Amino acid sequence: MTASLQRNIYLYPWFSASTSLLFWFPVFFLYFSSKVTINQVLVLEAIYYICVVLLEVPSGYLSDLLGRRITLIASSISALLSYMVFFTADSFVFLAIAQALLAAHISFKSGTDSSLLYESLVQTNREQEIGDQLAKAQRFGLLATALAALIGGLAGGFSLAIPYALAAAGAGVAIALSLRFCEPDKSASAQTVINQITEIVSYLKKPALHWLFFFNVVIFILVHVPYEYFQPYIKLLFPARASYDNSPLVAGILITITMVAGSYASNFSIPLKQRFGTGPALIIVITYACVIILSMAAYLHVAILAIVLMRSVPMALANPIIYSILHENIPDQIRASFLSVLSLFSRLSFSLTLLLTAYFTNSIEQLDYPRLQTILFAYSLVTILMLPLLWWARHKLIKKEPG
């Protein structure tokens, strides 16, 4: 059994890499807008996040009840089906179905993958490695995304559908790896849904955990704003010419650099926490994420891309800090469910902002810079108003921090 659990730890970064082969990253907004209106593009993105929200808690409960391995297999199969539908989609309805399947993939993976890692570490007496192992897996994932974005951007210049076919191959690798995982022993039986919710709420009452919970919602929104609006920003800078649309390639190159930067930044996550303390370190991260959005809103210029290239750095720095604390403080029988609830609120909050944006862009065919600028400034303003609250409440996290 110990050897099988050691295999889990070894395979985990490679599984993270296989699920991060997102060849479609540089083209998804362009792909959607080539088939539906801008308003429908934003609705499709909201559909994805809402479906994740609807599936988060059930998937976390099933993970705690049925096991990590079977849940990750289901996640990988959902990814394969999603990319197959994307590749053949020719209408809003089929794109929505593909988004729902992609949401299922993310929901079943969310919390379950890191739970499998942590439980494997605990049962092999290596739990003290959780922060470093999470950072390692994150590096693998970011580097995989970097490579995939470069290839997908190049292919997308010829056809925006090709990157989804490539992503399907990556999902096949994820299925093969998930089949090799071993199920860790359960320290306790999964509780009923009502009991789990009750216990999750009781843990959220702890000052450190509800500070982290709120922080995670805010940082999730901030790092996804450049993700959603990066492609239209690039499109405005690099319009299509002749028979080859160069904006997907430009986006792919820039995303590659972005992911490499995030991978490198992962090395500094735990040292940042040790240098400044958890609260100040995370507030530094969230401030930097806000600066990236403000720079996009301030000026439409190639020089701004140097700042936007760092958009993966905030999450790369924050995730190992957040999840190492959460895993150490949440018991096995509700761990995946707790992380699913955390993801649920983060994605629900962002989906609501997308729906609000879709409402205000209902009558336009293309997203021009003045409208994009307004959207980005709105996100920045709300964040600036939240920063003093996070700073004021940081003592809750410091007092309750383990160790």
pLDDT digit string (tens) for 133-179?
888 888 898 889 889 988 998 888 788 899 999 999 999 999 999 99
Question: Tell me, what's the pLDDT at 244?
Answer: 55
For CA atoms 348, 353, 358, 364, the dihedral sign is negative
Higher pLDDT, 218 or 348: 218
User: Residue 400: pLDDT above 50?
Assistant: no
8 A C-beta contact, residue 220 and residue 350? yes
Please, which contacts does 369-373 make with residues 24 or more away whose CB atoms are closer than 8 Å? 369/236, 369/300, 372/229, 372/232, 372/233, 372/236, 372/296, 373/297, 373/300
Domains of the chain: 2-400 (1.20.1250.20)
Average confidence score pLDDT of the chain: 83
111: left (phi over 0), alpha (psi -120 to 50) or beta: left
Residue 50: count of CB within 10 angstroms of its CB: 20
Q: Where are the alpha helices (DSSP H) in 158-277?
A: 162-179, 193-204, 207-237, 247-265, 269-276
Residue 383 has a pLDDT of: 87
For residue 244, give the DSSP letter.
Answer: B
pLDDT one-digit tens code per residue, 197-253: 777 777 777 777 778 888 888 898 888 888 778 778 877 887 655 555 666 777 788
Residue with the bigger pLDDT between 29 and 78: it is 78
Nearest 5°: the CA angle 292, 46, 88 is 105
Please, what is the Cα angle at 68 between 320 and 110, to 5 degrees? Answer: 45
Contact 336, 68 (CB under 8 A): yes
pLDDT in tens, 8-45: 899 999 999 999 999 998 888 889 988 888 788 888 98
pLDDT at 90 over 50: yes
SS3 content of the chain, % helix, strand, coil (to 5): 80, 0, 20
Is 60 exceeded by the pLDDT of residue 188? no
Of the candidates 354, 233, 218, 256, the one whose C-alpha atom is nearest the C-alpha of residue 22 is 256
Q: Report residue 401's pLDDT band, with 50, 70 and 90 as the boundaries.
A: very low
Percent of the chain with pLDDT over 90: 23
- Report the predicted TM-score, pTM, of the whole model to 2 decimal places: 0.68
Helical residues (DSSP H) of 266-331, grouped into ranges: 269-276, 278-298, 305-308, 313-329
Mean pLDDT value across residues 56-67 = 78
What is the rounded (10 degree) CA torsion for 220, 222, 225, 230? -110
Q: Which amino acid is at 291?
A: V
Q: Which among 267, 244, 6, 9 is positioned nearest to 114, based on CA atoms?
A: 9
